[in-house]
Structure 1
Amino acid sequence: MRQRVLIAAVAGCAVLGGVLALLPWGPAGTREAAPPAPGAQALTAVTTGVPAALPDLAVLIDEREAHLRTHPRDAKSWAVLGVAYVEQGRRTAEPVNYPKAEKALRTSLRVRARNAEALNGMAALANARRDYRAALTWGEAALQVNRKRWTTYPQLIDAYTGLGEYKAAKRTLDRLLKLRSGPAVQARAAAVYRDRGRREDAAAALSDAAAAAEAPAERAGYLERAGQLAWERGDLDVALRHFQEAVRLDPDQRAALAGQGRTMAALGRTTEALNAYRVALAKQPCPEYALELGELYESLGLGQAARVQYDLLRERAARAAAGGVDEELVLGLFEADHGHAPSAVRRLRTEWRRQPGIAVADALGWALHRSGEDKEALKFARIATDKAHGGGVRSALYVYHRGMIERELELAGPARRHLQEALRINPHFSPTRVPLAEAALKELGEPSIQDVPEMDAEVDAKPRRG
């Protein structure tokens, strides 16, 4: 009878999509059931789309590879192996995992063509590679097989967001909320709320998700996102608390370590910030972290150290491209500020035609500004910051870019308003750009009676998206 109870408990957890964790049995103070094996924990995580611990992922991958050597026609195991490789690649920023994932997922589809698990895995892989059109195609194919498979909807939300289709992302979230509840869904809802400018709703959803998560790695993942939200609104103490707790729960949570570096730099704790960034880059060498660390070095007058990071950025972006990952956005941002701005424009125009999200609009607008093409630059800056065009994200960087472009166009009123807004959103958003924003505001001076509420009407409607 006791064995049946334990089996039922495990099955119930799997159906709920949570992390497998057996509850205590027997009278208080007596023996507890053993926790599930690492492979089982990772299996539940990857099949329900929640963060998995790296050691558990390694165990799951070893188990599935061993199983498939003797059961090569097991389509489900091929799909699980593929998704585990996707998660491992995402957590480690090692793009070598993505070709392995694709091989496993395509093998699963060859064994069984109408296979929602593998189709959903291909959507997750495409999102990890930032190929949002492919992710949308694979996600829609998975829905054709099983429209009630809730784990497909988060992949579609990511794909629509990357393509700048924010209304479609919201509709997809609404369908997901009708099918499912729980921490994974709350975390996904938080991302949509954040993109629509609903920061308080996003923070509340992430708080609920973290409180309800059972596995440490899952909870750490949600706390890292909560820390990023707090950082974006300039709440440094809350951000640092979330990032530190995430690392305590999961020492492999390198995004939270980079978040600590970002926050400590803003707090003036420079040595700690540099150490946090170095550790994050050692274990998860994302080009974005190299760019942030390079700019921090630059703000400290350490040009040679900054150039080392910029070289690392180029190297990691090249390695990512070899694994099928699109790093054009971070390369464009880097080239605009630290390289060849016309090259950034060419790179980002191509990216805009492929996937016109607001992050690309912001980067392209800034690259155009840095190339001296300010009138066209403002069109894209408006897309990135105007709610009417989908730019609901309250980003200090985006608003700063818009204000600096307007300043160059001698639109003093809008420039002043947007630079002030950037510093209100997050007074610490960049170690290199905050001083520039403050200097520009000082130069602009106080508003005059000639300033009117809005002078953006001179700019044409938003450009075509390709």
Structure 2
Amino acid sequence: MDVMPQQDPESRRPPEPSPHDPYAMPAEGATAVPPPPPTLRTTLRRAAFGAVAAGVLLAGALVAVPDGKDDRAKEPGPVERAEAAATAGSPASLSDLTALIGDRQQWVEAHPEDAPSWATLGSAYVEWGRRSADAAYFGRAEEALKRSLAERPGERGNGEAWVGMAALANARQDFLAAKRWGETVRKQDPKAWRVYPVLIDAYTGLGDRKAATEATEKFGELRKGVPALARTADLYRGQGWREDALATAREAVDRATTPAEKAEALHRLGELAWERGEPEEAVAHFDAALRTDSGHHASLAGKARALAALERTDEAVAAYQSVVTKLPRPAYALELGELYASLDLDGDARSQYDKLGELLEQAKAAGVDESLIRARYESDHGDPAVAVELLRGQWRKQHRNPAVADALGWALHRAGESEEGLKYARQAVDTGVRNASYAYHLGVIEERLAQYGPARRHLEEALRTNPAFSPLDAPKAREALESLGEPPSGGPEDMQPPPPPPPAPEPKRESKPEPKPEPKRESPKPEAPAPAPSKTAPAPSKAAPSSPAAVEADASKSP
């Protein structure tokens, strides 16, 4: 039986590379005190496995395919489990991923020319950095992936390293670079299913809904099962198709097999329940995910958010405090700070915002663009002008997804430019995504601009979608709605369609005296017919478009 790594399974850190490894990155941040390296046996299967595992590790697939082995076979060790999960398209547990990293570190130290193993190691680093919120590993990932491409260029069949570079770019929020890497792989091998998840993430980050939809559909054709179900559920969720998203997400839960994939699928159900304003159900799903995989810390953050909505604030604070230690994502730090502020714990809120600033600096040093989170902080708790500058930069980088549009619209409003902000806030809501914060922001901006009817409608939509969407903003939404009062009588709910207008009376003809009969007068000759129309049709009038395309073109120009 394989020797398990001598490391706490709950540890956030994979083993450090050997000091003799020329591509080892210096310890920094959370990796400064490494745990003892695991003792693992190396086998010749690595070379054959590497080419498959590198692409699969980052494919975002969420299901394992039964391997058909006899149940009486010996229990696999952590490296074998990670290899099997990657080959099948399933996420490995963090402890198994740790073991795989240690195993591959030892292998490439002895076999530095093994390009597939370098790609596997780099891809595993990306996955570890993403799931542990330790951006220091992205630098190591880049070194390993570049070494893989140096040993075997992508044009010579090393598409796995290209996929790894695309995933790394997505993790750093560089969606244009991810798009370029991914499209290069797709051009070389359109049937390589492993590239479509990174393309979906890139297109989603850029706000290209059409391309994201097409990539999702293609992925579903090439990769059946839970991977396709997970991506399809996310697509439906982004388009506001709640029932379809829920049904697809439930099917993914039913068909998931390993603890890691089951936890991810349950987490998705929790997120959907939270977004539709059902925090009790959300807590149940997040608890189920944590029972399935105690290392799924994102579910602990989701549970904290739902507990706050249920006004179980002591439990919510404790859960947030735990998760920002285990999974220090800037978004979670901001949420905890705002929860403190809602409880009038201003000192704790300031301390948490200071912690947020430290996390943002660490991310920046590691090449991760967290401009969106920083802008959200600046809009509500700092300098809105700074937020506007950051978000305009995101827009110039073509990061035009609903989250950036909403944040830019809100930042402009907070900076005193509500008219310009209205355009972006509307764009976020018009995508169809059911997000209470987006509707709230739009309603407040419309109220500022004296558009009271639309403001009332969007504030009601926010509270109907999720009555406790934010510990700070949900009470403000209720106050704003109360200040608007009830709509005047005869409003939209009381109005009946107007009767059709009466037909216009025919113009009266003036009566003229009958002419006196004249003797045999010849009738006038008929006029010559109008000349035949030319073969080139005249341009249609702008006032009345003559085709559906022209109508749509004119409609698109209207504000």
Separation in 2, partners of 1:358, 1:102: 29
Q: Is there any run of 5+ residues in structure 1 with no aligned partner, and where?
A: 1-6, 26-30, 454-459
State the partner residue of 1:317. 360
Separation in 2, partners of 1:271, 1:98: 35
What do the CA deviations read for 1:324-373 (whole angstroms, capped 9, x no partner)?
Answer: 11100000001000000111101111011111111100000000011110
Q: 2:126 aligns with which of 75, 86, 89?
A: 86
Q: Is the 8 A contact 2:422 2:446 kept in 1?
A: yes
- Tell me the CA shift for residue 189 of structure 1: 1.2
1:381 aligns with 2:425: yes
State the partner residue of 2:176. 133
State the partner residue of 1:269. 312
Q: Is the 8 A contact 1:131 1:326 kept in 2?
A: yes
Moved more, 138-147 or 36-45: 36-45
- Tell me the CA shift for residue 423 of structure 1: 0.5
One-letter amino acid matched to 2:187? Q
Q: 2:410 aligns with which of 366, 383, 394?
A: 366
What do the CA deviations read for 1:145-197 (whole angstroms, capped 9, x no partner)?
Answer: 32111011111111111001001111111111221211122111111111111
One-letter amino acid matched to 2:111? H
Q: Is the 8 A contact 1:246 1:256 kept in 2?
A: yes
One-letter amino acid matched to 1:55? S
Q: 1:439 aligns with which of 463, 476, 479?
A: 479
One-letter amino acid matched to 1:401? H
- Tell me the CA shift for residue 462 of structure 1: 9.7
SS at match of 1:184: helix
Q: Highest CA radius of gyration, 1 or 2?
A: 2
- Tell me the CA shift for residue 298 of structure 1: 0.6
- Tell me the CA shift for residue 38 of structure 1: 1.5
Separation in 2, partners of 1:328, 1:149: 32
1:409 aligns with 2:449: yes
Separation in 2, partners of 1:201, 1:462: 32
Q: 2:198 aligns with which of 151, 155, 179?
A: 155
One-letter amino acid matched to 1:407? E
State the partner residue of 1:192. 235
State the partner residue of 1:54. 94
SS at match of 2:250: helix
Q: Is the 8 A contact 2:139 2:366 kept in 1?
A: yes
Separation in 1, partners of 2:307, 2:65: 35
- Tell me the CA shift for residue 17 of structure 1: 9.0
Identity among equivalent pairs (%): 50
Aligned 1:4-153 pairs, distance under 5 A = 18-19=63-64, 25=70, 32-46=72-86, 50-114=90-154, 115-153=158-196
Separation in 2, partners of 1:279, 1:81: 29
State the partner residue of 1:341. 384
- Tell me the CA shift for residue 452 of structure 1: 6.8
Separation in 2, partners of 1:370, 1:131: 27
Moved more, 31-40 or 257-266: 31-40
Q: 1:289 aligns with which of 329, 332, 349?
A: 332
Q: Is the 8 A contact 1:65 1:81 kept in 2?
A: yes
Separation in 1, partners of 2:84, 2:365: 30
One-letter amino acid matched to 1:88? W
Q: Is the 8 A contact 1:217 1:249 kept in 2?
A: yes
State the partner residue of 1:357. 401
What do the CA deviations read for 1:385-437 (whole angstroms, capped 9, x no partner)?
Answer: 01xxxx12110000100001001111110000000000111111001111100
The Cα RMSD (Å) is: 2.3
Moved more, 370-379 or 220-229: 220-229
State the partner residue of 1:176. 219
Question: Aligned pair in 2 of structure 1 residues 287, 461: CA closer, same or farther (>3 Å)?
Answer: farther
SS at match of 1:421: helix
Q: Is the 8 A contact 1:247 1:256 kept in 2?
A: yes
- Tell me the CA shift for residue 41 of structure 1: 2.4
- Tell me the CA shift for residue 237 of structure 1: 2.1
SS at match of 1:91: helix
Moved more, 232-241 or 278-287: 232-241
State the partner residue of 2:35. none
SS at match of 1:273: helix
What do the CA deviations read for 1:265-288 (whole angstroms, capped 9, x no partner)?
Answer: 111111111111111111110110
Separation in 1, partners of 2:205, 2:437: 18
Separation in 1, partners of 2:88, 2:382: 41
- Tell me the CA shift for residue 127 of structure 1: 1.0
Question: Aligned pair in 2 of structure 1 residues 462, 151: CA closer, same or farther (>3 Å)?
Answer: farther
Question: Aligned pair in 2 of structure 1 residues 378, 18: CA closer, same or farther (>3 Å)?
Answer: closer
Q: Is the 8 A contact 1:48 1:151 kept in 2?
A: no
Separation in 2, partners of 1:18, 1:117: 20
Q: Is the 8 A contact 1:22 1:34 kept in 2?
A: no
Q: Is the 8 A contact 1:336 1:367 kept in 2?
A: yes
What do the CA deviations read for 1:234-289 (whole angstroms, capped 9, x no partner)?
Answer: 11122111111111111111110011100111111111111111111111101100
Q: Is the 8 A contact 2:163 2:182 kept in 1?
A: yes
SS at match of 1:151: helix
What do the CA deviations read for 1:433-456 (whole angstroms, capped 9, x no partner)?
Answer: 111000011100011258679xxx
State the partner residue of 1:28. none
Separation in 2, partners of 1:275, 1:87: 27
What do the CA deviations read for 1:282-322 (whole angstroms, capped 9, x no partner)?
Answer: 11101100111111111101001011111111110110111
Q: 1:397 aligns with which of 423, 433, 437?
A: 437
Q: Is the 8 A contact 2:330 2:360 kept in 1?
A: yes
Separation in 2, partners of 1:382, 1:373: 15
One-letter amino acid matched to 2:167? A
Q: 1:258 aligns with which of 283, 301, 306?
A: 301
Separation in 1, partners of 2:65, 2:429: 42
Question: Aligned pair in 2 of structure 1 residues 128, 50: CA closer, same or farther (>3 Å)?
Answer: farther
Separation in 1, partners of 2:107, 2:258: 25
Separation in 2, partners of 1:165, 1:64: 36
Separation in 1, partners of 2:273, 2:325: 25
Q: Is the 8 A contact 1:23 1:33 kept in 2?
A: no
One-letter amino acid matched to 2:486? E
Q: Is the 8 A contact 1:51 1:221 kept in 2?
A: no
- Tell me the CA shift for residue 204 of structure 1: 1.8
- Tell me the CA shift for residue 34 of structure 1: 2.7
Separation in 1, partners of 2:234, 2:62: 19
State the partner residue of 1:305. 348
